[in-house]
Structure 1
């Protein structure tokens, strides 16, 4: 008995399949049956008050097969998901799992602290935590001065400087 993939079109008496849905299935099959030279892991990215968090779905990938680099504001995650060949006379009739090398890059704002980036792989999910730099994200209040206040401040600074010079001459 051979396994065949059910595509919903075996029943020729069914007229409910529209041409559009047939094209959708065709293109979906074409995309899913491409060669397995690489894959793109699914990513969830979010931001909290203190961090940026990036989660990658990497089932079956070992931490030794993952590299994470951060340079010039770009976080790059590369790796490989390997197909383990078994010698038990298996003949695959269907292989939908994607294998091969992958690369995902993320541009982060300049307010991150690259020295404290951490990564954790658990149950096939890689979590990369990129902390925000507290000094760069701290809110500052800037006071606005008028031209009169600016001139008055300069005059006060000059008087204070002159007073200090007078004291230093007497000493």
Structure 2
């Protein structure tokens, strides 16, 4: 008996072998994959004894482009940009549209104080500081050994 490994990623049609490979080679190209990845900014999340900090890398934007909101236990960061360029020369008319947007949603821990969240945007990085509630802050004390 021979065992054949099943690969769910590779779905070839018996009638058109290699047909899906053509699309995979085009859509899997680095140009397309880079465009898909770049639509969502990278995020760093850190925690200290006093606060949580979220850093979102979004170069080329202005602080007015961001919309930051808190609803219940979720923090939402989003942006939307639209631009339109129009050039009319001789008998040619060209219009180019550009549209980009993203939305990141974070579930907030119960220990975060949502009333004191601070946001700043500097050098292409949006920094969100979420202070911890007083009762959630870690209390440290020295324990004597007897």
Question: Shorter-chain TM-score: which interval?
Answer: 0.5 to 0.7
Q: Residue 60 of structure 1 contacts residue 81 of structure 1 at CA under 8 Å; is this kept in 2?
A: no
Partner of 1:47: 47
Partners in 2 of 1:54 and 1:86 — Cα distance?
Answer: 38
Partner of 2:11: none
Q: Write out aligned runs for 1:16-165 (5 A).
A: 27-29=28-30, 30-32=32-34, 39-82=39-82, 85=85, 100-137=100-137
Q: Residue 59 of structure 1 contacts residue 123 of structure 1 at CA under 8 Å; is this kept in 2?
A: yes
Partners in 2 of 1:73 and 1:101 — Cα distance?
Answer: 23
**Structure with the bigger percentage of strand:** 2
| TM-score, with length taken from structure 1 | 0.52
**Structure with the bigger percentage of helix:** 1
Quote the offset at 1:138 in angstroms: 5.6
- Structure label with greater radius of gyration: 1
Quote the offset at 1:80 in angstroms: 2.2
The DSSP-based 3-state class of the residue aligned with 1:109 is coil
Q: Residue 68 of structure 1 contacts residue 77 of structure 1 at CA under 8 Å; is this kept in 2?
A: yes
Structure 1 pair 27–71 and aligned structure 2 pair: CA distance change class (3 A): same
Q: Which stretches in structure 2 are left out of the alignment for 5+ residues?
A: 1-23, 140-146
Q: Which stretches in structure 1 are left out of the alignment for 5+ residues?
A: 1-22, 92-97, 140-171
Q: Residue 44 of structure 1 contacts residue 54 of structure 1 at CA under 8 Å; is this kept in 2?
A: yes
Quote the offset at 1:26 in angstroms: 7.1
Q: Residue 55 of structure 2 contacts residue 125 of structure 2 at CA under 8 Å; is this kept in 1?
A: yes
Structure 1 pair 99–126 and aligned structure 2 pair: CA distance change class (3 A): farther
Partners in 2 of 1:83 and 1:24 — Cα distance?
Answer: 31
Quote the offset at 1:130 in angstroms: 0.3
CA-atom RMSD in angstroms: 3.1
The DSSP-based 3-state class of the residue aligned with 1:64 is helix
Structure 1 pair 86–61 and aligned structure 2 pair: CA distance change class (3 A): farther
